[in-house]
Amino acid sequence: MNKREWVLKALRGEKVDRVPVGFWHHYLENDVISAGMEHPELLQQNLQGARKFRDEFDPDFVKMMTDGLFYRPDDSYPLIEKASDIGRLQPLGEDHPYIEACVQQAKSVREIYGPDTVIFYNLPSPIHHLQKHLYGTSTFKKYPDYLAEDPEASLAGINALLADALILVRRVMSEGGMDGIYFGLHNDNVFTAEQYEKFIKPSEIAVLEEANRYSDVNIAHVCGYRGRVNDFEVYRDYPATVFNWALHSTDLTIKEGKQFFTNCRCVIGGFDQTPGSLIHAGSKADIMAYTYQLLEENGNEGFIIGADCTIPGDTPVENLLAVKTARDRFASGKPLPRKAVI
């Protein structure tokens, strides 16, 4: 079994001899994460980071970091000063330079990793593109008020962004060589159940259904970055087969998540991703011990070792390699040494 077959088998919830390991971090700073159209050198910097990460860590599978093109460019939005202005938002269209740049970025990452590595395209949901443009922060602030003020305009704006997302999904998977999507979701517990069900959930379901036309392994990432707390019930029946969420800021365990999410076959996670956490600042011995604990608790079926979200960019690669070393020792039946020597 080659690397690709092994990882796909794990993602489909089948038993494997060794559990795959995957971590990821940004290669650009947050203030330029969407500035690649104006500054193409940032896109090259992102690819250089991907090559370096491949050479130093060689993850078993990849969440493609779309740094430089993370969100739709701000200059593609109309001036939005009130809720009704959201209704003037238009789709970019099939051949927009931003769409073309995203597809080319996907092709370049595929070239870096070659054909044997499973790669997921990182895609924020339509509502997250909009909220990032409106507020430039990681919270929804008063967007629920916009929904209440002008539901029709708000829905039109989300559907315009959905049209872009559907194009991107189709093109990065049919042309860019991606094996699936890593779909960013969060609700921050600020929407009513009715608001999410009527105005936001349909667009997110549509993106996953489009991705499912091209792949049977797509990841729903319920983001708990920077302490977000989400209503998980919203995502229970989403048509993703792989789920990743912030285990360390919720009571939902890996085993419970497999049962909670209707279509879940595999869970990715285990490590906290916050600055100062074990994977970021812990000793290699402690990281190996925790890896053993994860494997003992969750087995080798429907589980992949990763983190709650994106790990800090200055995480020592030796810490990531310690996870792979511990995984390999565990798979071969070797006991954990008192003092791990990497």
Note the pLDDT tens digit of each residue in 106-139: 999 999 999 999 999 999 999 999 988 988 765 6
Is the pLDDT at 142 greater than 80? The verdict is no
Cβ-proximal residues to 224 (8 Å cutoff; 6+ apart), any chain: 186, 230, 245, 246, 248, 249, 250, 308, 309
- Per-residue model confidence as pLDDT tens digits over 218-231: 999 998 766 677 78
Top-level class of domain 3-331: alpha beta
Strand 219-222 with 180-185, pairing: parallel
Calculate Rg over the CA atoms of the chain.
Answer: 20
Instruction: Dump the DSSP string for 9-65.
Output: HHHTT-B-SS--B-----SS-GGGTT-TTT-THHHHHHHHHHHHHHHHT--SEEEE-
For the entire predicted model, the pTM comes to 0.96
| Domain spans, the chain | 3-331
The string of pLDDT tens digits covering residues 28-51 is 998 999 999 999 999 999 999 999
